[in-house]
A = this chain, B = another copy of it.
Amino acid sequence: MTDQLVLKGILEEIYPLHRTLVSDGSDRALEIIASNMPEEANFTIETYAPSTPVWTWKVPERYVVHEAYLEIEGGERIIDFADNPLHLVSYSLPVDELLTWEELQPHLYYNEQRPHAIPWEFKYYERSWGFCLPKNDFDELPRDKRYRAVIRTEFVEDEERGLRIGVGAILPEGGVDRQAGEVIVAAHICHPMQANDDVAGVVTAIGVAHRLAKKPLPHGSMSIRFLFSPETIGSISYLAHHEDLIPHLKGGIFVEMTGNENSLVLQRTRQDDHLMDRVARYVLVQSGQPFREGEFAQVIANDERVINGPGVNVPCISLSRWPYEEYHTSDDNPDIIHEEMLQEATNVIEDIIRIYATNFVPNRTFRGPVFLSGHGLWVDWRENWDLNRAIEKIMMRFEGQHSVFDIASELGLDYWETWEYVEKFREKGFVTKVALPSEGSAT
């Protein structure tokens, strides 16, 4: 791919917005995503009214910040939301009080390890209020003064201005194949002024969408759905409103933190040894780059807890470059993002999807060993020694138990070489194509 989409540019546009569960900054982020997704994705935005029950949760209110600042009584304004949205604890309650240092201190947040940086804090569900500031600034605040804390925020219940998610799908050649099902690629959008966590994942997903739009998956492959939403409550709200979709989802990829310099880490599905895990590992090994692996929800927990969670159960891996030191501070900014890292993650996800979405279970229609030379299926050992050696073993694996990827893996063959050879049997009518089973729950 020579004319690759430059992902960091999109990231820089989304990065500084005041994004949170439901906020105008998040809406704006979705608009920027919409304008950067390929047309083929038919990107749309859905809105869910606050307080709508979604499974065991409910949709939160819109969080509107009119102003928020901290002043030394009769003196300097030392913290202002207008300077940086990180200064305000997300979903802080309104306040307008004069406080002593002792009263104020429990409402101040800083990061010991990064004394120069503003940390990011939130109180979504057990609400309170607070300000975030560098440890260096905290240390210098006078202990003997009184402080005025002003937070003018609103929790808006207007159903027209509810929680928003963005969704689009890239179809294979010839359009949707309902039996084949879908892969969902998810990224969250709700971390204010955070570049790697989470805009890096967002732009990686956009990059993948462009690749698949440019060179579509072959006819009969899975469709690829892209979901952009606030963490946890976003994917819950979306799936709770589209329960019929769940049994069609054959796999999921959650992506975040793809721009920093660490190696990629594959967090396995809840199933732990699902085809999705094995395909991802195969692609990572093939990439030739070092990578790491970890158990479900044990590397860094996110929306895969929903997608692959109880009663949903779509096998969902997560890919990231976790850990990195700037996490959840004002240091997580475009300075730590590398285009090359974003592109490498895009490559890996593209390759995983191309294999996972084309894979199927070939099911024999013939009896006895096939008359290979009589049907143009003979592979000359002078042309392809490995495949020649494997023909018999491939033919014995058309019993509806093995996917093409399984066959290739068991026999140590290249996926695409095997896929092409099996396709020849399918064209001759010697095998039928069985879609991979869904693990997505119907209830």
Can you name the residue of chain B whose Cβ is closest to the Cβ of A428?
B56
Do the beta carbons of B366 and A126 come within 8 Å of each other? no
User: B-facing mask of A342-383, CB < 8 A → 1, else 0?
Assistant: 000000000000000000000010111111011100000000
In the assembled complex, the Cα of A60 lies from the Cα of B268 at a distance in Å of 54
Q: Identify which of B310, B367, B430 contacts A364 (C-beta below 8 A).
A: B310
In the assembled complex, the Cα of A236 lies from the Cα of B398 at a distance in Å of 19
Do the beta carbons of B369 and A310 come within 8 Å of each other? yes
Q: In A49-86, which residues have CB < 8 Å from any B CB?
A: 55-58
In the assembled complex, A385 has its CB within 8 A of some CB on chain B: no
Do the beta carbons of A306 and B368 come within 8 Å of each other? yes
In the assembled complex, A156 has its CB within 8 A of some CB on chain B: no
Q: In A298-324, which residues have CB < 8 Å from any B CB?
A: 301, 305-306, 309-312
In the assembled complex, which residues on chain B have CB atoms less than 8 Å from the CB atom of A395? Answer: 309-310
For the complex formed, measure the closest distance between the CB of A227 and the CB atoms of chain B, giving whole angstroms: 14
In the assembled complex, the Cα of A216 lies from the Cα of B2 at a distance in Å of 75
In the assembled complex, which residues on chain B have CB atoms less than 8 Å from the CB atom of A58? Answer: 371, 374
For the complex formed, measure the closest distance between the CB of A374 and the CB atoms of chain B, giving whole angstroms: 7
Do the beta carbons of A368 and B297 come within 8 Å of each other? no
In the assembled complex, the Cα of A232 lies from the Cα of B396 at a distance in Å of 16
In the assembled complex, which residues on chain B have CB atoms less than 8 Å from the CB atom of A125? Answer: 371, 373-374
In the assembled complex, A99 has its CB within 8 A of some CB on chain B: no
In the assembled complex, A188 has its CB within 8 A of some CB on chain B: no
User: B-facing mask of A124-147, CB < 8 A → 1, else 0?
Assistant: 011000000000000000000000
In the assembled complex, A325 has its CB within 8 A of some CB on chain B: no
In the assembled complex, the Cα of A301 lies from the Cα of B393 at a distance in Å of 12
Do the beta carbons of B399 and A368 come within 8 Å of each other? no
Can you name the residue of chain B whose Cβ is closest to the Cβ of A308?
B396
In the assembled complex, A239 has its CB within 8 A of some CB on chain B: yes
Do the beta carbons of A368 and B270 come within 8 Å of each other? no
In the assembled complex, the Cα of A94 lies from the Cα of B122 at a distance in Å of 89
Interface residue count on the A side (C-beta < 8 Å):
38
Do the beta carbons of A312 and B240 come within 8 Å of each other? no
Do the beta carbons of A57 and B368 come within 8 Å of each other? yes
Can you name the residue of chain B whose Cβ is closest to the Cβ of A236?
B368
In the assembled complex, the Cα of A290 lies from the Cα of B364 at a distance in Å of 39
Q: In A208-232, which residues have CB < 8 Å from any B CB?
A: 232
Q: Identify which of B56, B309, B311, B374 contacts A57 (C-beta below 8 A).
A: B374
In the assembled complex, A441 has its CB within 8 A of some CB on chain B: yes
Can you name the residue of chain B whose Cβ is closest to the Cβ of A393?
B297
In the assembled complex, the Cα of A441 lies from the Cα of B364 at a distance in Å of 12
Known: A56-B375, A236-B368. 16 other contacts (CB 8 A): A55-B368, A56-B366, A56-B367, A56-B368, A56-B371, A56-B374, A56-B430, A58-B374, A232-B369, A239-B368, A306-B368, A310-B364, A310-B366, A311-B364, A311-B368, A312-B368
Between-chain CB contacts (< 8 Å), 15 pairs: A55-B368, A56-B366, A56-B368, A56-B370, A56-B375, A57-B374, A125-B371, A125-B373, A126-B373, A232-B369, A305-B369, A306-B369, A310-B399, A311-B368, A312-B368
